[in-house]
Each structure stands twice: as structure tokens, then as C-alpha cells.
Structure 1
């Protein structure tokens, strides 16, 4: 092979010609340059390199490999390669080069210094590869990924817009239901005031209060940012604030210890009825004849869901004045069944204790 570098140590029995023939037959493009000559020119290439670049040997020998560079060659990569060769260090990278006909291609290369026995660099040997298809695939994948991200972004924006519209609609529904319930409650209270004292008046008053509790539930849902969940601690505090507004604080009080639980919005109305009914019943019947006392409301997460306890230190169920026309206990039992819960009535000694276990399969902390 004309111009093949001599002076390298070869395996026993292998001549330079045999070694050169093996390199010439390799499908991997190969280049040898001589840094001892001016401008580190090319002194040997194999046929695969000629096929890659489109040049003939006589057009390459004696010239620096920068002849393959062009307007789109990254100067940062070129500078890194020059610095590595100047420091007699190996270099590995990809350079945007040009063939003889001007066709650009990505040239992946490793350049290795070849030293003599004293450590002096005799030649630089470079094995190369056409990486154009790899880059083309990377560009195609990047474009496809960008298109997918745009599609996902557009779809996400559509879903966000639809969710915002749904949220606004549900808020509006809660707002209107709240207003309508307040109107109904006010009408019933007005009718109660015009009804003679007795069972009918008490019934109207009780129904108005229950409707007011439902109105409070919808008011809380209207104020929540997440229409699918509500904060049970804040919800209970709001309900109890309405109940405690008319109490004589020196005689009776309501205490709460409620864990912060995010519950399904579907549970708001039945829980409002449940807490209102049990707390109101305790306040009305547990403390007759100006008796002092307290009503405690506790709610915590438990293994089976949520444990709601309403307890008073009043006269107890047996001593309370019976109310044949009342249906508070029936209402409580109906609501507990609706919530798929368990209801336990017991003597608190003194007072009454109602414990309710409610599954929270659809709720989250």
C-alpha cells in the first residue's frame, strides 16, 4: 500500500504489507495521519474511507482531515479535536463533515496516538463510521416526541378547560341549591311562627332547621376548590358554629375534636343531617330544667373508615322526656344506612353516647 507508515512493531510473522492488506479490507473507514509533518497530513486511508467521503487517494494524501469540514461543522467539536491531538491524547466524538460532492454526513470517529518505544507519537490512527442514519433517527424521534408532547399538551388543556367548566357548573349548582334551601327554610320558619304552640309548630321548626343544615352543606361545597372532596374538619366547624350561635354559653357548650379528612362530596348532605340531628337532639333533650352540660363531637379515621362519636353528659336516654311524634332517631338510622355505616347507642354514664362507623372506600386523606 503506497504511503503506509513504517516503523510499527508487528506480530511475529506479520509483515507491514499483510497488516496493511487487513486494514484495507476492513469495512470500517480508517485514516492514518503523520503529526511529524507540517499540518499533520493524511498518509494512509483504506477503501472504506474513500467510499465514505467520495475522494480518491491522491486527493486526500498530504492534506489535513479538516478538508472534510464545512459551514455547518461545529467549531466547538473541531477545537476539542485539535486540542486533543496537540496534547497527544485520544479523541472520540462526532463531527459534521462533507463528502466530495458536498453531501453532509455525521462522521463518528475515535483517534488514537500511535507511539514508538520511547513514547513519541509517530502517527494518529482513526477508525470512523457514518452516523448519519443514527442522527436522522434521533431527529425523527425528537420530532415525534415534540409532536406527542404538543398533542398531550393540547389534550391536557382541553381536559383542564372541561374540568374548569364542570367545576364552575357544580359550584353554580351548589350555590343555587343553597339559595333555594335557604328560601324554603325561611318559609317554613315563617309558617312555624304563625302556627300555634304545639306539635305542628315544633315539627315545622325542626324541618326548617334540617333544611338549614342541608343549606350549610351546599354552602361549604360551593366554597371548596375541589368539587369532588370537602374538608370534614372545616365542614363540621361550620355546622357547629350555626348550632352554637343561639346557645347560652354559660349553661351548655359544644366541643369538637375532628380529624382533617377529605371526604367525597356525595357524603356532605347526609353527614350534615346526621350531625345536626344528633347534636340538636342532645341540646334539646339532654339538659332539661336549666341543667348545665356539654356535647362532644369527635371524628377520626379508623380501620373501617371514619368513627364519628357524639356524646353528651346529660340525663341520658331513659330519663329524657319521650317524644312520640318525633322521628329524629328514625332519620338518623336512615342516614346511617344510606352511608352504609354502623350505629351504636349507649349509656355514657351520665348522658348518651352515639358512635357511628362509616366506610370511606372513596375518601382520601
Structure 2
């Protein structure tokens, strides 16, 4: 993973994680302040490069695969998802890129091109119906989502392992929170992988799956999360932002709305309307003002950034009792 600064000339790298250093072979000080193009080389597809530049110029998310080169000159296939992050005024502030090494996948594809019979047997063993129903492009898109889901699950598991070995406090809570957010993104990619139409994401199905996971960890006598969500199909590009937003609002309500032994309920509602989609997440807890202060938290800021990315609007309401968050996402942003 890496972050670039959209406000500085040439969009330089300002942060990378250790996995990116392992993938490319560079040291952190060799990367900070440079544009990502230094990873390109003779085998890099110029058409894909132009497509990436166009998405960045338009401040739009993009997913692609590109041949890049490590520090020692070794080529590797880089599957990346680049997402813009906007500031409070809606201007592009950063670009976040999640990346994965797809070299082995491409090696297997090349090996299978000359062995059609072996390919048919392999695909037939995994799922004959899948081969009969989908074209090659759809199969590849499924495979990308499957691999991204697996990678996110590994990252989430590693963060949870680190959290368990970290003393109680803000650092441990931050690690657990990030692991859960990554888990929500993994669920979205798992649903894209298993769906018949890889270009669409069903919000109702995701919410049902999400509720099953979150309620499994709650005491049903004390806290319950319920949902009444239409089967709303949105574009695959919106799957991750919507999954992250629903996860953040729901888990924050579960954690902070019912301190002590307070009993309560969280409800998620989503409906189509004349101009798009209306999402409401409400609880009957203590309310925002009465909730415990969390100076290190950034959940509300994260939700508001995601809503801006989707060109939507958000309103926070104090209830009697509890808190209600009303979000409107226009169809133009999701279709």
C-alpha cells in the first residue's frame, strides 16, 4: 500500500508500508518524494499508463494490472486499485493505492495457453457451470477479486495477530479497528467474486452477510443489529466504499452507543428513491454528545470522506434517545 500527495507537484509518494518495500526491493528513503512512474520499464503497457493518468487527472478510482520492475530489474505484474481521497472542500488531497503481485497468475495463464485440454480439465474440475456461463474476461475479473479477497484476509489476520500481542491501549484498539475495516473490504470482494455479474454489487446481500458476522460476536440479550435493506445493485467500483461506510457506522454504534451494561439496538435501512439511494443507520443508545470521547478515533471523518467520494450527502441527528445518520447517494455515482 502507498499514499501520494495530490497537492504537491508530480504527485509524490508520502507513505508506503513494509509490504510495498518487500514487493519492490526499495528502501523507504528511496521512495518518499518520488512519483510512482519509476517502477515502469520497457515492458510496461503505455495504453494502461495513459488510462491511469486519465483517471488521476479526472480524480476517479481505477483498478488495473501493469508490468512493473523491482529495484534489481526483475519484472512483476502489479494489480493495483487507486482511490482518490478528498479534503473537506471536496478537492483531491491524496491518492491511496493498494497493490498485489500477480506474477504467478500471469505465469500460469501463459503456461495454460498451449495446453487447452489441461486448461479445460482444470476449469471443469473447479466448476463446469462457471466455464459454461462466463467468458474469459469475466473469469479473470472473478480471479482478481478472489485474490484481492485472500490478500485482504491475510492482512486482516496479521493485524489481529499483532493486536493480540500489543498491550491494551490506543495502539491495540487502532490495530483491531483497521483489521475489522479490512475485513469489511474483504467481504465486499468475496461477494463480487461469487456474484454472477462481476460488474455489479448487491447492497442487500452484503448487508445480510455483514449482519451475520457482526451479530455472531454480540450478546443477543444485550445488543442486536438489524437491517431492512432493498436489493440495490450498484457498480463494482462502489463496493469497497459502501462496505467500508456501513461497517464503520455500525461498529461505531455497537462500540460507543451502549456503555456499561446498557441494552440497545442498531438498525440499518436502505431504500431506492427518486434520485438515488437513501441509507439510514440509527441506534437507541446514549447519543453522540453523551458517548465517550475518543481523540484518536477517525471513524466519522472516514465516513464523511467516503460519502464525498460517492458525491453524496450526510446528516448526523441526535435522537431521543440515540443517534441517526442519514446518507443520500445519487444514482449517478453508483451506476
What is the TM-score when the length of structure 1 is the normalising length?
A: 0.55
Q: How far apart in 2 are the matches of 1:182 and 1:319? A: 35
Q: Which secondary structure state, in structure 1, belongs to the residue aligned with residue 139 of structure 2?
A: helix
Q: Partner residue of 1:272? A: 243
Runs of 5+ consecutive residues of structure 2 not aligned to the other structure:
1-130
2:318 matches 1:347 = yes
Q: Partner residue of 1:75? A: none
- 1:287-341 Cα deviation digits (max 9, x unpaired): 0011000000000011220000000000000000010000001100111011110
TM-superposed CA distance for 1:161, in Å, is 9.8
Q: How far apart in 1 are the matches of 2:183 and 2:165? A: 19
2:221 matches 1:250 = yes
Aligned length: 205
Runs of 5+ consecutive residues of structure 1 not aligned to the other structure:
1-159
What is the TM-score when the length of structure 2 is the normalising length?
A: 0.59
TM-superposed CA distance for 1:236, in Å, is 1.0
Q: Partner residue of 2:257? A: 286
Matches within 5 A, 1:4-153: none
Asked if the contact 2:310/2:333 (under 8 Å) is kept, the reply is: no
Q: How far apart in 2 are the matches of 1:228 and 1:328? A: 28
Q: Which secondary structure state, in structure 2, belongs to the residue aligned with residue 299 of structure 1?
A: strand
Tell which structure's C-alpha radius of gyration is larger: 1
Q: How far apart in 2 are the matches of 1:173 and 1:226? A: 14
2:201 matches 1:230 = yes
Question: Which of 297, 300, 311 does residue 326 from structure 1 map onto?
Answer: 297
Q: How far apart in 2 are the matches of 1:294 and 1:358? A: 25
2:213 matches 1:211 = no
Q: How far apart in 2 are the matches of 1:238 and 1:356? A: 21
Q: How far apart in 2 are the matches of 1:351 and 1:219? A: 33
TM-superposed CA distance for 1:230, in Å, is 2.1
TM-superposed CA distance for 1:363, in Å, is 5.2
- Backbone CA RMSD of aligned residues: 1.7
